[in-house]
Amino acid sequence: MSAGKRGALIIFEGCDRSGKTTQSRLLVELLKSKDIPVQAMNFPDRSSCIGQMINSYLTNSKDLPDEVIHLLFAANRWEHMNQVKQKLLEGVTLVVDRYSHSGVAYSAAKGLHIDWCYAPERGLIKPDAVFYLRAPANDLASRGKYGEERYERAEFQGRVAQVFDRLCSQEASYWHQFDASQPAEDLHAQIVSITEELLPKVATQPLDKLS
């Protein structure tokens, strides 16, 4: 890869069990098969100290005020930003399962003000593309292992989806919405098509920040 060409920051967003993990894995495998430098990431990263606190909360073993858990999620992204920037500038494309928009959507769905939720995300590296996998909450509830973690309740997920819809319309320039209820291979094909156009386009563009 010639000097100065950066990787793309690609984010998968959507409600729980919408297929983000499967689709992000398929995309990483495909890019690897084409010898494109790529790395998978996901937030929250539960391996750090902050991540372990988040994990205790998500698995229902610890209770925290909504504002505190929101700021921990944001801090978890910030603690990885230098690494994210370095990888992108080295030409590695990052495929990330959840990012800032999940933080905003889940906290706003609990009743926190959306502007307050977005504030700690400002200044993080802006994604080149957000792939938003959208499906009715009732469809998602029938998928495997649903309900094991704190936020997996259909009624709550419905509120999360409403915030995601709002973010999608506000950030339409780089968000791509997909019907998550279609067969996985069809969804993958659509995602690959957009990714193949995206990579050469962003390779020479400077990194931007969420504002």
Q: What string of DSSP letters covers 69-106?
A: HHHHHHHHHHTTHHHHHHHHHTT-EEEEE--HHHHHHH
- Residue 198 has what pLDDT? 98
Q: What are 116-164's pLDDT values in tens digits?
A: 999 999 999 999 999 999 987 666 555 555 456 666 677 888 999 999 9
Per-residue pLDDT tens digits of the chain, which is 211 residues long: 445 799 999 999 999 889 999 999 999 999 999 999 999 999 999 999 999 999 999 888 888 999 999 999 999 999 999 999 999 999 999 999 999 999 999 999 999 999 999 999 999 999 999 999 998 766 655 555 545 666 667 788 899 999 999 999 999 999 999 999 999 999 999 999 999 999 999 999 999 999 9
Which pTM value belongs to this model? Answer: 0.91
One-letter amino acid of 156: F
Give the residue carrying structure tokens 């706003």.
Answer: 108
- Residue 60 has what pLDDT? 83
Question: What CATH number belongs to 9-202?
Answer: 3.40.50.300
Report yes or no: 18 and 144 within 8 Å, Cβ to Cβ.
Answer: no
